[in-house]
Structure 1
Amino acid sequence: MGIKLGSAHEQPRASSFPMKLRSLVEYFMDLLHAMRTYSGHPYASNSLHEPPILADCEKELEAHDDVYQANACLFASFNRRDAADAEFEVQVLALLGPVKRRLAEMASNGESVPAPHAPFAVRAAGADLPPAPQIFHGREPDLIALIAAFSQNCQAHTALLGQEGAGKSALALTLLHRPEMARKFGPRRFFIPCETSENAADVYSCLASALGAACTPWKVYVLSELASAPYDSLIVLDDLKPSAAIEELLAQLSGIPRVSLLLTLRDRWPPSGPIYTMPSLVLLGPLSFPSARALFTAISDIPSDAEVNGAPSLIDALLQHVGCLPGSVILLAQRAQYEPLPFLLARCAEEDGV
């Protein structure tokens, strides 16, 4: 069958090197013992340099030449590893150069220098992010456009616009959890809810908390931390309320080369400050009927083609009643889990909306 069996007395090739190395060590130990013995004699200093003794040493070394060659390869490997470590150290120091210069400037200007804290590398990717929506329908084209914009090797700034319940936050969170964003930004993906933020100071405070702030003032900390980090960052400012102070904040954040911004707003136009990239703004309106129907049936667990109490027509009537807005569709679907569709439609007509 083509299998060659070795004899039982053959020594495995892999064990020859340790045996030869052990033999060489034993020889040198014997030589050292002999030198110590001869050192006590008057003629020891001359006899050690006599040609016969040197010739014997050379012969023994030649006999162990293969061991020395193996050792030479091993030492060469160690030298290459040391050279690689030295090069890595040089690159790390080059990356830390801007950080050291910034800290020196802050110290010379009397600014508060941030205290050391845990590096971002120890954060699990996406550990601090809210979960992505489990059910996502109707925004796939917008999601693809956003992935293309933020996957580039340069920073990008985009705004999601739409009325309340249009699904801006759901789209932003779906984007943050995409594998493409995880590969590019890693743990430097931040979702900052700004619904309760009244001014720029509140936004800076939320940003500082997400960055692991260890000192105040928050604005100085946030700007210095983002500017000194050698990594790309994607910051989502959700439900932002534009103002003059907010526009100044956006101008400062967008001026940092490695920071990308995604804003969600209820206004029809984004605030000034960043230079918005394509797609510069995404206006989210109602879902299409097929997408709204798929969202409703996925949550309510009522098949759209079920012929129970005229389910298809009742579902379409409910969707039309709320204008196919994702937030309202989700609320209707949750109520449909425990309330019959005819009663739900009648109640919606009485309440004039959900």
Structure 2
Amino acid sequence: MLPPAPKIFHGRNFELHKVIELLTQYSPRVAILGPGGIGKTSLAQIALHHEDVVAKYPERYFVPCHSSLTSSDLISTISSHIGFQSAKGLQHILNYFACSKPTLLVLDNFETLWEPASTRMDTEEFLSQLAGVPQLAMLITMRGAEHPQKTRWTRPFLQPLTPLSNAAALQVFVDIAEDQHELSKVQQLLDITGNLPLAVNLMANVVAHEGCDQTLSRWNKENTHLLSDGYDQRSSLDISIMLSYSSPRMTCGAKELLSLLSMLPDGLSDADLVQSKLPLENILSCKLSLVQVSLAYVDNTKHLKCLVPIGKYIQRVHPPSSN
């Protein structure tokens, strides 16, 4: 059973067009990358139901990876989604796909397996074996900005997703909270979200029940707690950010640099980083770590920044040290 296409989806026409272009090539291997809450899963689900994809792939599977801690776990999960009565080994699955009609396999939240250093090599080997089946198309969604190694990913790469445009964020908000609210107050709330789709969605749901004034008042008291009543990364902003912050690639230096960035809305250039006297070893390596896990990004002025909701969370939970 495939998940339905999201009913509220705005501002990703360009990215959707690129994904469809890639998926309609021969034997594609595509990765949708970006920070938590940016809309990777929604984009994959929309693509899964696109008429061109449906026409090309008689068989389509959507496999969530968030509960799979090893490649063996994922093999069992794929077996279940295919419809096997009992868990099968990797070779059995490879044989099944090799003998099937053209098939699209979506692996959602693939970072769950790939992030830990202890399982990364096995995970990349598993993925490369799946990629060895020509009639199997693969689409993964994954936090961060890196592609797993050992697989030849289809070119050109899809760039990591970025926040929505102001117009798209407003449309998402209105679809959820309706349009009877004062526009200036709605814009204040959207500024708080940084147009991060998850934050926009959660904020609009609060406004739908409490109105703009009460929501703004609660934000001033509760900060990102306001958007964190849910139980997982798709319904809690704090959990979503914390998952990225807990990445094994986040060194102590990267965490300290992120704490500093949270206080600097204009960000830092490479020159700022190199010339600063911050007590951080390999400061450019710290920058790279933040970009790799998508907790920070480099804007068009070449400044390293973090998104507004991430900055607010870090200020509250991990403020800069006095040193």
TM-score, normalised relative to structure 2: 0.65
Confirm or deny: 8 A CA contact 1:158 1:279 kept in the other structure. Answer: no
- Note the C-alpha offset of 1:133: 0.4
Q: Distance in 1 between matches of 2:206 and 2:22?
A: 37
Q: Which has the larger helix fraction?
A: 1
- Note the C-alpha offset of 1:288: 1.1
Which amino acid counterpart does residue 133 of structure 1 have in structure 2?
Answer: P
Match of 1:226 among 97, 104, 125: 97
Secondary structure at 1:283 match in 2: coil
- Equivalent position of 2:127 in the other structure: 250
- Equivalent position of 1:122 in the other structure: none
Confirm or deny: 8 A CA contact 2:80 2:86 kept in the other structure. Answer: no
Superposed CA RMSD: 1.3
Pick the structure with greater CA Rg: 1
- Note the C-alpha offset of 1:221: 1.9
Q: Distance in 2 between matches of 1:172 and 1:315?
A: 28
Q: Distance in 2 between matches of 1:284 and 1:300?
A: 24
Correspondence list, 1:329-344, <5 A: 329-344=200-215
Which amino acid counterpart does residue 233 of structure 1 have in structure 2?
Answer: T
Match of 2:23 among 150, 166, 171: 150
Is 2:115 the counterpart of 1:235?
Answer: no
Q: Distance in 2 between matches of 1:268 and 1:220?
A: 30
Match of 1:191 among 39, 47, 62: 62
- Note the C-alpha offset of 1:281: 3.2
| Residues 23-81 of structure 1: per-residue CA shift (max 9 Å, x gap) | xxxxxxxxxxxxxxxxxxxxxxxxxxxxxxxxxxxxxxxxxxxxxxxxxxxxxxxxxxx
Secondary structure at 2:201 match in 1: helix
Secondary structure at 1:161 match in 2: strand
Which amino acid counterpart does residue 197 of structure 1 have in structure 2?
Answer: S
Which amino acid counterpart does residue 250 of structure 1 have in structure 2?
Answer: L
Q: Distance in 2 between matches of 1:218 and 1:319?
A: 47
What is the count of residue pairs matched by the alignment? 218
| Residues 221-254 of structure 1: per-residue CA shift (max 9 Å, x gap) | 211101122x111111101121111101110000
Q: Distance in 2 between matches of 1:326 and 1:313?
A: 19
Match of 1:170 among 26, 30, 42: 42
Secondary structure at 2:159 match in 1: strand
Confirm or deny: 8 A CA contact 1:145 1:279 kept in the other structure. Answer: no
Is 2:171 the counterpart of 1:299?
Answer: no
| Residues 130-162 of structure 1: per-residue CA shift (max 9 Å, x gap) | 11100100111000011111123x111111111
Confirm or deny: 8 A CA contact 2:70 2:123 kept in the other structure. Answer: yes
Q: Distance in 2 between matches of 1:341 and 1:249?
A: 48
Which amino acid counterpart does residue 33 of structure 2 have in structure 1?
Answer: L
How has the CA–CA distance of structure 1 residues 301 and 258 changed in structure 2, closer, same or farther, with 3 Å as cutoff? Answer: same
Confirm or deny: 8 A CA contact 1:213 1:221 kept in the other structure. Answer: no
Q: Distance in 1 between matches of 2:103 and 2:175?
A: 34
Is 2:186 the counterpart of 1:315?
Answer: yes
Q: Distance in 2 between matches of 1:349 and 1:218?
A: 52
Q: Distance in 2 between matches of 1:329 and 1:216?
A: 39
Confirm or deny: 8 A CA contact 2:76 2:87 kept in the other structure. Answer: no
Q: Distance in 2 between matches of 1:338 and 1:245?
A: 46
TM-score, normalised relative to structure 1: 0.60
Which amino acid counterpart does residue 232 of structure 1 have in structure 2?
Answer: P
Correspondence list, 1:254-265, <5 A: 254-265=131-142
Q: Distance in 2 between matches of 1:335 and 1:214?
A: 43
Q: Distance in 2 between matches of 1:138 and 1:169?
A: 15
Confirm or deny: 8 A CA contact 2:19 2:158 kept in the other structure. Answer: no
- Equivalent position of 1:89 in the other structure: none
Q: Distance in 1 between matches of 2:156 and 2:8?
A: 24
Secondary structure at 1:282 match in 2: coil
- Note the C-alpha offset of 1:292: 0.4
Q: Distance in 2 between matches of 1:284 and 1:180?
A: 22
Confirm or deny: 8 A CA contact 2:110 2:141 kept in the other structure. Answer: yes
- Equivalent position of 1:328 in the other structure: 199
